[in-house]
Amino acid sequence: MHTELNQFIESIAVGAAKEKGLHFSSAREAQQYLEKSKLQIRQLIHEGNVNFFEGLQLLTENSEGHVRQFVAGVAGKILKNLDSTKKLNKIIEDDIIKNDRALLFFSDVINEIQEAGDFHKELCALSVLMTLFPANPQSYVYYAAYLWRKEGKAAAELFYSKITEVLQDPALDYFAADCFIKNGNRPKARKLLEKSLERGLISHENYDNVKKNIQELMERC
């Protein structure tokens, strides 16, 4: 596992250097750059793990009402079983995948944390949301909203630009395009929306409503 992580970090660092079109005067200079990049990547991974752990702890602090009680209960069970992949998989399957209201409950708690205005706590809670619901666009819409409020529209647009390349979802495309428009980038928004309609993900839940919203948004481009 440790070797796989090292190889993964190495590939990211090398890929980043190639993408930037960097050229080095010597092998030593190139190696120094890679070592610096790998150190930064390790720090980001560490921070992400720390935020996830803090987020779980945060979500266990308030269990008043059935919504917060459910979220606190799931977060608590995950905390207690972080060293067991088998038990974690069971928790995710029973409490997240098989529960149609799990995302709604977690989202309600996230909304409360957002309203409190503590960016660090919000980021930690969002780390949990994106980890538990990695394929759901709502997790990333929340994160983009966090970036918008904390770092500005440009940061939110950059994030949307990257995530829409990885996760193809019409609802996510809609919110991304709306961000592009508000940031004054209408051509980019229209291109994304056209691509979203072309993909025609008709199996997507409530796709007809999303399609209608996309078409209405295109009129603003």
In our burial notation (b when 16+ CB lie closer than 10 A, e otherwise), range 79-98 reads: eeeeeeeeeeeebbeebeee
Q: What's the confidence (pLDDT) of residue 4?
A: 47
pLDDT band at 39 (very low <50, low <70, confident <90, very high): low
CA 149 to chain centre: 16
Q: What pLDDT, in 10s, does the model give residues 43-59? A: 544 555 778 888 888 99
Q: What pLDDT, in 10s, does the model give residues 92-102? A: 889 988 898 99
In this prediction, residues 34-42 reach a mean pLDDT of 58
Rounded to an integer, what distance in angstroms lies between the CA atom of residue 157 and that of residue 149?
12
pLDDT of 2 higher than 50: no
Q: What pLDDT, in 10s, does the model give residues 169-180? A: 888 999 999 999
Nearest to 34 by CA among 4, 56, 6: 6
Nearest to 141 by CA among 159, 124, 125, 153: 159
Q: What's the confidence (pLDDT) of residue 200?
A: 62
Q: What pLDDT, in 10s, does the model give residues 108-154? A: 999 999 998 899 999 999 988 988 888 788 889 999 999 999 999 99
Domains with residue ranges and CATH for the chain: 58-134 (no CATH), 137-221 (1.25.40.10)
The pTM of this model reads 0.71
**Across all residues in the chain, what is the average pLDDT?**
80
